[in-house]
Structure 1
């Protein structure tokens, strides 16, 4: 394994940021709704919860809430475990993979999917994922039990998903250590300008205006949020400390890949991510300024 000192500062974070769009774009793609509707899952919130938690099996709402962290338990319980009576986890996983295939073909084009760059990106991302660890990482570990798809673009998506969930599981550990509850985590992320806007948070996470307002007040009481809803100096520091802690907990896969491999994977992933952005893969209403 390559030593962490061989990696430039934040190299793993930059690589993750380039990889993550390819993992997450399918959640917003019409292909996912089409494929899930075809197997009986018509509600979009139920579809997201099922698609992401299906690798864990037919789990109950408590498990999903714990693993997802930022979602209201009441929202989760509206759909889980009922969704498994409509479509079993393996049925959902098969539908998800079909949706990923269809959406990437539409967004990137057949030439990009068959390119040597796609095959190289898949190989590098899978090599990085070899350095991931299972303990205390339920979403990563469940996804790591799934077979690697044969097609290079699907193998790349699978590896990007492993790396995203590995980092995500570690980030939840950092949030707990920072004593930010789920709503406070969302509010500070939105205030940083890097997360979903409040419209997106309300549309996807299930928290009410009252719960969001109460979280803002708690954060003001800790000196992390201004009266106008911006991060204070202490709030900015907290978010930076959170990312540094997440980097530390997520360093193993990028150390395993090594500096040269990380740099090349970041380059390749960034080019594919740019194509996704150009295709309109992410709804501006949820991520843009309100």
Structure 2
């Protein structure tokens, strides 16, 4: 049990958000595509999936579908297990780390990568991961078995990966608890204005417009979405409840770090993220309702 005082409300979420976004910059980087191409992965449908699933090992589509939740099984089955006829999980993980190194150096700059602030953020984030737990968290547990890199910017990125997957696994439990299926989860998240643009979702998750429209109809039938595709009052409350439950399931790392540590890591993470975003880390059309 931790002796740290209680955290301010949603402090963990506020800390997680910039670290999660900083982690995801790698998947949108040209370095990532180049590294995957260098090991023989050229399928446009694979990149957003393979970097995360490789930590699970050379598994089949069923395992990936269970861990990923909102990807279409048909897309997953198209990528794996055929992927493992081309490359090993270790090769994918190596390519991902090389891409993270190159992308972060480009987006943040050499001075930031080598700064005391980077070393401080890496230490704080790593300390937070000490309180993460493996049970019922397959993607976190798989990544937790990977070694921490020595360089500070990569240690921060790996810690951000662990914190991202820890929260993400808990988030899936929350989605199940409120009865949102994979496409309903995507549609309702996009309707908040904070989720990915539908065009990005359909392209990267393997769903069709018909799938999207059918999920929207189901949400309207539950009184969660109105005729204009906006969340109703009940829909807003349901999505807020999902995030609150996710916060509760993900509290331990931030309680372990303590209020001062969480505030400092949040400050540092936001600064790094702003620098990366200003350097063009994300597509302009990524977020929004379309």
Superposition TM-score, scaled by structure 1 size: 0.98
> Secondary structure in 2 aligned to 1:97?
helix
1:263 has 2:254 as partner: no
Consecutive unaligned residues in structure 1, runs of 5 or more: none
Residues 1:272 and 2:263 aligned together: no
Deviations 1:212-250 (A, max 9, x none): 111011100100000110000000000000000000000
Partner-residue secondary structure (3-state), 2:241: helix
Assess if the C-alpha contact under 8 Å between 2:4 and 2:256 holds in 1: no
For residue 227 of structure 1, give the secondary structure of its aligned residue in structure 2: coil
After superposition, where does 1:120-199 map in structure 2 within 5 Å? 120-199=120-199
**Most deviating of 106-115 and 276-285:** 276-285
CA RMSD in angstroms comes to: 1.1
* Preserved contact between residue 129 and residue 162 of structure 1 (Cα < 8 Å): yes
Partner of 2:233: 233
Q: Return the alpha-carbon distance in structure 2 between the equivalents of residues 155 and 20 of structure 1.
A: 14
Alpha-carbon separation, structure 2, partners of 1:267 and 1:205: 32
Aligned to 2:97: 97
Structure 1 stretches of at least 4 aligned residues deviating more than 3 Å after TM superposition? 1-5
Q: How does 1:195-210 map to 2 (within 5 A)?
A: 195-210=195-210
Q: How does 1:63-142 map to 2 (within 5 A)?
A: 63-142=63-142
Q: 1:212 corresponds to which residue?
A: 212
Tell me, what secondary structure is at the counterpart of 2:285? Answer: helix
User: In the aligned structure 2, how far is the partner of 1:13 from the partner of 1:289?
Assistant: 22
Structure 1 Cα separation of the partners of residues 283 and 169 of structure 2: 25
Is the 2:143–2:162 Cα contact (8 Å) retained in structure 1? yes
**1:58 lines up with 2:58 in the alignment:** yes
Rounded Cα–Cα distance in structure 2 between residues aligned with 1:29 and 1:39: 16
CA contact (8 A) 2:55 2:143 kept: yes
Please report how far the alpha carbon of residue 5 of structure 1 lies from its aligned counterpart in structure 2 after TM superposition. Answer: 5.4
Distance 2:207 2:15 in 1: 31
Q: CA deviation at 1:277?
A: 1.1
Contact 1:40 1:86 in 2 (8 A): yes
Stretch deviating more after TM superposition (81-90 or 166-175) = 81-90
Point out the more displaced range, 210-219 or 4-13.
Answer: 4-13
Separation (CA, whole Å) in 1 of partners of 2:32 and 2:263: 31
Query: CA offset at residue 117 of structure 1?
Result: 0.2
Q: 1:274 to 1:20 in 2, by over 3 A?
A: same
5+ residue gaps, structure 2: none
Figure out how many residues of one structure are paired with residues of the other and give that number.
290
